[in-house]
Each structure stands twice: as C-alpha cells, then as structure tokens.
Structure 1
Amino acid sequence: MTFSNSKWAAVQGRILPLILALLLSLSILPGCSGESGVESSSPEGSAGIEQPAAEEEVAAPEAAGDGEAALDVSQLPGYTGSPYVVIADNVPGLTEADAEGVTESYSPLDALGRCGVAMAVVSPETMPTEERGSIGMVKPSGWHTVRYDDLVDGKYLYNRCHLLGYQLTGENANEENLITGTRYMNVEGMLPFENDVAEYVERTGGSVLMRVTPVFVGDELVARGVQMEALSLGDGGQGVSFNVYCYNVQPGVSIDYATGESWRSDQQGAALSSSQEMDYVLNTSSKKFHLPGCSSVDRMAEKNKQAYTGTRDDLLSQGYDPCGNCNP
C-alpha cells in the first residue's frame, strides 16, 4: 500500500504518542521511575530519599572534628574546691607506641604567644643534675605581676608554670614550656603529679611518658587549666598512670582569662556567695548551669536552654554542675 506524505504524517501523529505512553508505563526510559517505586540508580534520584544521606555526610565531619578538638572545659565540672578533676576514669590517652622517637617535644608558640602541648619520656637521663636558674626574663601570654599577700601562699598570684616540671626534664627558661599559672594550680594542682612521676623514675630507674596540654578558650591569653597525662613504660602503666585536669584558679581571686587581669572575689558579682540569688542559664540535657554571658550558652540547643533565677546552692542540690568555662 502506498501512502502519501500527508497520510503518513497523520499515521505518525497517532502512533508515536501511543508508543511513548507504552514506554513510560514499562519504566524503560532513562532517568525515570515507574509506579513500582524502585529508586533510580542515578545520583540525581529522589530528593526525598537522598537528602537524609546528605545531612549525615555533613554531620559526620563535624562530629569527627569535635572528637579531635582540644579538651572542652565547658564539659568539665566547675571548680568546687578540689585543685583537679579526674578525666576518663584516670586513664591517659597515651600508649607505649606514642613514646617511639620521643625524648622531649614542645609546641611552637601560636600567633597569640601561647604554649601548646608538651611531651617527654621522663627518665633518669632527662632529670636535672644542677640547680635551677632564673626564669624571670620569660613573660608568658597573659602575664601580670600582682600580689595578694593575705590570699596567696607566696604572695604573688601568678607563677611561671612549667608544663613539664623542671625536676623531670631540666627545661628551665624555655618559653615553649612556661605558661601563666596561679600559685594554687602550680603547687596544689600540678606538683603532686610531677612528684609521683619523679619518685617512680628515681626509685625504679624506669621511664614515664608524660603529656601536658594547656587548655585555652577562644583567644584568651591565660589557660583555664592544664590536662596532665602520664604512663609508665615497660609495665603497662602499673607504676604510674593518670589523666587529670588541674584548674588554673586561685581561691579568693577572680581572673579575667582573656587578659590576665584579676580582682578579689568579693568585689565581683560572678563570685558572690553561693546562697545569693543570681540569673543563670541551665542546660537541661547536660545538667550544667552557666552565667548568661557564657560562650557555651550560644552553642546550646534551644530545646535544652532554660533561664533560672536562684542560688548556686539550689542548683547544686538539684543535680546541676557548674560550667567549667564560666565558673559560675
């Protein structure tokens, strides 16, 4: 049969739509899905299915970053009278493998002149054999010379605190090993743990891997405290093993960690009696309470945030802990 051009065009106009409809119903056109609900293998598939996966991929790096970040003092108990608090059941985040190739290691000062992590394998060979020299020429970040004769044993609020004690490494006027620390942190917080390491090394002739990390918040020049970790080598930590955070505080004195300025506690509202009513912000999830201006409040989920006016004692009795950042 012979078709004229006009007749052939008419046939095409009727047949092609039928063929297209059939192909769609059989789900064989690329990039399309039929009523069966089977996902396309193309990365441009259903937005309703792909979006949760994309959100998880974004969240995962943030969670990993948080885990790798420096110790978050806002997650630690606030200072309540003890010079230190135990971390991770007192188990150091160190292994004997970390000691390989290490004798002593100090971080270079950052852009604000602040110290970083200090690490050493303490042994009889690293301990000093001569008297300590002067370190008065070193001015750590946030340094101030200030006295509180009736409040501080030794009169001066700040010491030039060795991250790794002189008795352990013989490092003296090393600016990468000295921070601005209160007399209280230096003597009551850090020294007992340094003595434990020194005693073990002297008694056994063995070695101890030690790491000390100053903990700064934001751009503050004075550390909120130091994390001290130690593990005796060759015995799996049977001789010495600890993981503690020492508070850089001085009873009776309040400190502006951003600058190093200080004042007697009874002169500032943040250090008022624990039985006096004040405004706080509660985190009902972590069970911590904060001063309203604390930086941790800005990062708090709204559903967990609760304004509270009352006394510090009342919050403690309700099971809340003071924030380790703002020390309310």
Structure 2
Amino acid sequence: MVKDPTRGDPRDTPIITKPWTPPVDQNVYDGDNPPTAPTWIPKPDWDPKNGGWKPEDGVKAIISGPSILNMLLDGQDGFSPDQVTDPHSAPGADPDGSNGDDRRGGDCRTSLGGWRVYEPLDRQGRATGIEACLDSAFLNANKGSSPKVEKIAPPGYTWAAIRAGELGNRPAKFWRNACHLLGAQLSGDGLRYENLSTCSRSANAKRIDPRDPGQHPNMLHYENKVKNAIDAGRVVQYRVTPEYEGSRVIPGRFHMQADVWNANGTRVKLFDDYVQNTMYSVKDGTFHNIGKEIPEGWHK
C-alpha cells in the first residue's frame, strides 16, 4: 500500500484532552484572598406573637429555693430554712419582710414556719448581726447551745481578760463573756463565730462577782422579753446588731430590736434599745466601755 503523503500518519496526530478541574472549595472564606466575614448576627427564627413560647416564659419558670423545698417537703415537720447550708439564702434576710409569696399572711413566718439568719462576718472576722422570726414550734425544733471558748472564741476575747485584770477584776472569767447575739434560749448557736461577740459579764447577764454592781437592762433582759412573748403564744421578729468603734473588734454597744404579732394579727414594737458594753472596775469604781478601749488593730 502506498502511503498518502497528504494525510500523514495517524500515529503522529496529537490527542487533545480537557484540562483537569480542581474541586470547588466549600469554605468561601478559605484561600489566598478570602472575602470579609459578615458582622451581622442572624435573627432567631421564631415569631414572638404567634409562637408557642414567649420570652417572658423564662421568667415564669424561675422558682425560689424556699418554694422548691416547700414542695419537696410537703407535709413534713421539723424543717427550718436555717438548716439549709447557705444561711444567706434563708428567708427573712430582708428586715422589712419583703419576701413575696414566701411569707404567710399576718406575721414574719414563711410557709415553712419560723427562721433565723446569721449575718456574715466582716473582713475583720467580726460578727455583724442576727435576725430571726421565732415562735414556739421553731424553738422546740431548734435548740440553742452554749459557747465553748476553748474551741471558738470571738475577736478580742483574750484582750478583754487582760483588761479585766488591769481594772482589778480577777478572775477574768467572772467579768468577760463570749456573748450570743441570738441567745441560746432563742435557738442561738454558741459554736458559730457569726453569733458571738466579746462582751462584759454585766452587759450579758446577771453578775457573778458580788463586787460587780451589774448593769440593767442587759442582753438577757431583752432575750427574756422575747421568750416570754413566745411562751404566751406570740410570734416575734427579733434582731441584734453589734456596733463597733472604727476597726475595733469588740462592740461598743448592742442594738436590740423586736416586734411582736398579737393573736389578732396586729404588729407591736416590743423594744428598740441599746445595751452598752461596759465593765465595772473594782480598782477605780467606774464603768469602762471595753469596745471603745480595745486598741485598733488588736484581734485576739
């Protein structure tokens, strides 16, 4: 066969193929020159007018801690908000009693009954006060306790013993005390720093040393008034606040306050008074306010 020179050899003809196309990168913000990402935020895909859920429904879903406890303990006795580990979440922390639905009509009690609140220590470790709503049921279920100063002593307790000796008052244990803010007979815990302040014996209760002329009224006088009202079937809202001179760790005085609810639901002020934290001196025959005499910066 004669080769046609005009047609050429088919084996010499190049094969043309389509170039390879790389896959499309799905990330539009990838590569050498990505576009700027948008700064707007998409709106939620729901209609607040016609949807089944409304923003305020989240607020309606909030239930207070005491209400939850009340539901869980429905019908059970012997529980008080003070038994919750966080004392500051207990009802009654507001002295005006503005705790909404937790309060029962007519007095300071909640749906769980009486309560007590130990206010937190301040930065110097000083007790700052107590408040309680007390009735006979609460006192029967919550017994108080005496201090054990070998374990827990309030600030200034050692200094007060030294000062008692300087005033000629020995032994010191007859002249200075670790005072309950909420008394033991009113369910007060004697093993809580939040409930203890250093005080003179005469400011606290009846004198021990016959040379001590004593002080009247003292803290026990007001505690007895509260206890007598409760024993008579009344409900009492009680508050004690230690007041300090500057950074001194012993109170100069104690503010004693109480309101009582009578059987007909009327609220009456039982007392609003002060007890001065004074100690009598056998040496000079005068009273000394140990809360004002303790040096600033002294702690023990």
Higher relative contact order (CA 8 A, sep 6+): 1
Q: Quick check: which has more Rg, 1 or 2?
A: 2
Tell me the TM-score normalized by structure 2. Answer: 0.48
Tell me the TM-score normalized by structure 1. Answer: 0.44
Structure whose residues are more often helix by fraction: 1
